[in-house]
Structure 1
Amino acid sequence: MVSFESVKAKAITDRYVVWEDVQLFLEHTPVKIKSTLVGRSVQGRPIELWTLGKGPIKILMWSQMHGNESTTTKATMDFVNFLLGTSPLAETIKVSCTFQIIPMLNPDGAVAYTRVNANGVDLNRDAQALTQPESGILRKVYDTFGPDYCFNLHDQRTIFNVGETSLPATVSFLAPAHDEARTVSKTRALSMKLVVAMNRELQALIPGQVGRYDDAFNPNCVGDTFQMLHTPTVLFEAGHFPGDYAREHTRKYIWHALLSGVKAIAYGELSGYTQEAYHNIPENGKRFVDILIQNIAVLNTDYKKDEAMGVLFKEVLQDRKIVFEPHVEKIGKLDQYYGHERYNCLNDKDLTLLRANMKLMKLL
């Protein structure tokens, strides 16, 4: 079995990933990848399409359509490294499948570390109007390739928990709806079964840390649009793993998801999964803050007894690095919230640690 560490693109790390990083990866692959310039961004940066494999099953993947969502781009590089290998599994997949991959759809947003493109447009809300060059490029690739499956690769915020639990949603999935009634067509059922196959793999690695997104229909979203066009599509969301703000652990689990999903497709295993099992994956909640500080009245009597402070990080680009700046998100009882990091001001040890953290003390 191929290990993640053996295929990890080690030169691409942390959260700030731009086109030059992807290009450097491409230049140093041991096997030349077929790369085609399919267009340019608003600011003229290249958008390239990679083609791998020679099989009859066509799979289209795209990453970083939101410029500040880079984890799946890293995982895509890791997956490409796997495909370039000669393991029996890689060889079987390449004989069964042809992949077209847009590793970075929004290179301008990646440079600015913003969700939107250089015109301030969310590309994942532009699937119908196609007002932006990047949106048109993706749609043209889709129409030309005619994929059998689509993988829509994203990051999600640290706020998400799984169901009613205190576990973070490290990976989340969605089989997008194709109509307002959220009916289950043949192709949407395949999307659900594909998610179930990937969830089965991940539960062995991060039990309880896989969530499911709400499937409210939005035809302006790319996944919903492609589902409307009868292509099984899955939304991938790379989330938080404890202590992993660089999302280096999360990229590993996205890689496992990609590999297990593609394997299930290549080996014709999807019929062995049920769409009912998709609905058994807990839906995401929004009950996390990055830092939860309880009993804050101990440090500041302006607050009421038993009140807590919920702190979220703002991701700020500084000198090509992402800096996590804390800001106050909520103040109140907050009994229903969890913290990735927690302090209780009634605990002497926590109080000592908190007082040593000048950024947090300024918030109090």
Structure 2
Amino acid sequence: MSAFLNCYEFHKVQSLFGRYITLQDTEAIWESYHSVCIGHSVLGKPIYRIRFGTGTKKLLLWSQMHGNESTTTKALADFLHFLHHSELGAHWLTQFDICVLPLVNPDGAALYTRENANGIDLNRDAINLSQPESQLLMQTCNEFKPEVCFNLHDQRTIYGVGHRPHPASLSFLAPSFDGTKSYDDARNKAASIIGSVYSELSKYIPNQIGRFDDSFNGNCFGDAFQSKSIPTILFEAGHFPNDYDREESRKWIFVSLCVALQSLNENDIVSNKKSIYLDIPQNKVCFFDFVYRNVKIDYDNSIKYITFAAQFQESIIEGQFERIARIIMDENAEAFVGHREFDAEGASFTSEYGSKPEIDQKATFELIKLSQTVKFINGMPIN
């Protein structure tokens, strides 16, 4: 485990940074590994497959089927560099036959949307296969016949773990294969691999790893592949404090991939690792990016003290990536935790749009108490 951390900076692909990662940013990287275009997106962008390794253990990985979930794509580029430029990676390539679809939704990546250019969530299209991107992923799985699948995603900053919640910086799931949520050999194997990863990572980032909800949805590719008796693991890159560019999450996804492959190579799949998986605390929605407490408002000629919350919204505006904080709860946010919290101590709320927070308005306002005014712009105090 420490070896993967120690070598990470060497293998990190420095040309990739931040949240907005597109095909244009990554195409040369995939081509350096002799990628092959296997088809095209709705808007005609190429979708690449990379295949390498001379071993017999067949592993399929795919990333960024949601266009605005780019952290695992960065980590995947780092992981490919490790596999091709390290002694251990060279050894693993004699053991594994690896197939990668590094950017499944290039149109969504360019638009910075979860959905593809037709407005379809590709991870809800495993049954209908209505989109060319979904068809290519299913076709790749059917032709390659993997023994294990890694499904790589980002999760929102709203998720936390534990009774005194910490941010869910990473989450994992061995998806259900039917509505009973029972375990067969394939799901046991996926859970055991996650147990191995969790055992190592929790030594370094305790209380920050969650287990995703396992409600069955056959429209999701992870559930669909698990239904085919293919052990499938969902990797979710989450939030570290002050890491909105997800560079810290990227590092730990890289480490997770290394530990998972090491576990597979050593056949470290034993029943007690499943019990470790089941002991991982489940994700829960308990965070917002900003929580403001004890804020005084004058509403309908009466004084109230409220707690309200704001959340960053990320989008592309006139070709530029923007992260704008907007009000998401105008009161009653007491039960939530903020990645950044502010106690107004009874200061009065005022803004250009009125004397109380309004949902969807920008988190730009003032808190006034006696002769002191604190101005907030994009969620943060500026004085």
TM-score when normalising by structure 2:
0.88
Q: Distance in 2 between matches of 1:73 and 1:354?
A: 43
Q: Does 1:356 align with 2:355?
A: no
Q: Does 1:10 align with 2:11?
A: no
- Do 1:344 and 1:351's aligned partners in 2 also have CA atoms closer than 8 Å? no
Where 1:134 maps in the other structure, the secondary structure is helix
Shift of 1:313: 0.9
CA offsets 1:210-268 (integer angstroms, 9 cap, x no match): 00111001011100000000000011111111000000111001111111001100111
Where 1:34 maps in the other structure, the secondary structure is coil
Shift of 1:291: 0.3
1:354–1:279 CA distance, 2 compared to 1 (3 A) = farther
1:289–1:37 CA distance, 2 compared to 1 (3 A) = same
Q: Distance in 2 between matches of 1:238 and 1:361?
A: 25
The equivalent residue for 1:131 is: 130
Shift of 1:328: 1.2
Shift of 1:96: 1.1
Shift of 1:304: 5.2
Shift of 1:279: 1.2
Shift of 1:360: 4.1
The equivalent residue for 2:216 is: 217
1:202–1:354 CA distance, 2 compared to 1 (3 A) = farther
- Do 1:177 and 1:227's aligned partners in 2 also have CA atoms closer than 8 Å? yes
- Do 1:343 and 1:354's aligned partners in 2 also have CA atoms closer than 8 Å? no
Q: Does 1:147 align with 2:146?
A: yes
The equivalent residue for 2:266 is: 267
Identity of aligned residues (%): 38
- Do 1:22 and 1:103's aligned partners in 2 also have CA atoms closer than 8 Å? no
1:71–1:6 CA distance, 2 compared to 1 (3 A) = same
1:241–1:125 CA distance, 2 compared to 1 (3 A) = same
Q: Which has the higher strand share?
A: 2
- Do 1:52 and 1:98's aligned partners in 2 also have CA atoms closer than 8 Å? yes
Where 1:332 maps in the other structure, the secondary structure is coil
The equivalent residue for 1:174 is: 173
CA offsets 1:52-93 (integer angstroms, 9 cap, x no match): 211110100000000010000000000001001132x21221
Q: CA RMSD in A?
A: 2.1
**Higher Cα Rg: structure 1 or 2?**
2
Once structures 1 and 2 are overlaid, which stretch shifts more, 332-341 or 184-193? Answer: 332-341
Q: Aligned runs of 1:97-116 on 2, under 5 Å? A: 97-116=96-115
Residue identity matched to 1:59 = L
Q: Distance in 1 between matches of 2:166 and 2:33?
A: 39
Shift of 1:166: 2.1
Shift of 1:354: 8.2
Q: Does 1:196 align with 2:215?
A: no
Shift of 1:330: 1.3
Q: Distance in 1 between matches of 2:313 and 2:165?
A: 22
Once structures 1 and 2 are overlaid, which stretch shifts more, 275-284 or 302-311? Answer: 302-311
- Do 1:196 and 1:278's aligned partners in 2 also have CA atoms closer than 8 Å? yes
CA offsets 1:252-293 (integer angstroms, 9 cap, x no match): 011111110011001111227431211100001101000001
Which structure 2 segments of 5+ residues have no match? 348-365
1:6–1:273 CA distance, 2 compared to 1 (3 A) = farther
Q: Does 1:336 align with 2:338?
A: no
Residue identity matched to 1:4 = Y
Q: Distance in 1 between matches of 2:318 and 2:204?
A: 35
1:243–1:321 CA distance, 2 compared to 1 (3 A) = farther
Q: Does 1:248 align with 2:267?
A: no
- Do 1:71 and 1:250's aligned partners in 2 also have CA atoms closer than 8 Å? yes
Residue identity matched to 2:73 = T
CA offsets 1:120-177 (integer angstroms, 9 cap, x no match): 1110000011111001100111011100000011111100001323200010111000
Q: Distance in 2 between matches of 1:360 and 1:284?
A: 25
1:205–1:318 CA distance, 2 compared to 1 (3 A) = farther
Where 1:274 maps in the other structure, the secondary structure is helix
The equivalent residue for 2:67 is: 67
CA offsets 1:321-342 (integer angstroms, 9 cap, x no match): 4321111111334332100011
Q: Distance in 2 between matches of 1:106 and 1:354?
A: 46
- Do 1:211 and 1:281's aligned partners in 2 also have CA atoms closer than 8 Å? yes
| Aligned residue pairs, count | 354
Which structure 1 segments of 5+ residues have no match? none
Where 2:35 maps in the other structure, the secondary structure is strand
1:200–1:117 CA distance, 2 compared to 1 (3 A) = same
Q: Distance in 2 between matches of 1:175 and 1:304?
A: 49
Once structures 1 and 2 are overlaid, which stretch shifts more, 139-148 or 157-166? Answer: 157-166
* Greater relative contact order (CA < 8 Å, ≥ 6 in sequence): 1
Q: Does 1:19 align with 2:16?
A: no
- Do 2:305 and 2:346's aligned partners in 1 also have CA atoms closer than 8 Å? no
Residue identity matched to 1:293 = Y
Q: Distance in 1 between matches of 2:379 and 2:340?
A: 12
Where 1:140 maps in the other structure, the secondary structure is helix
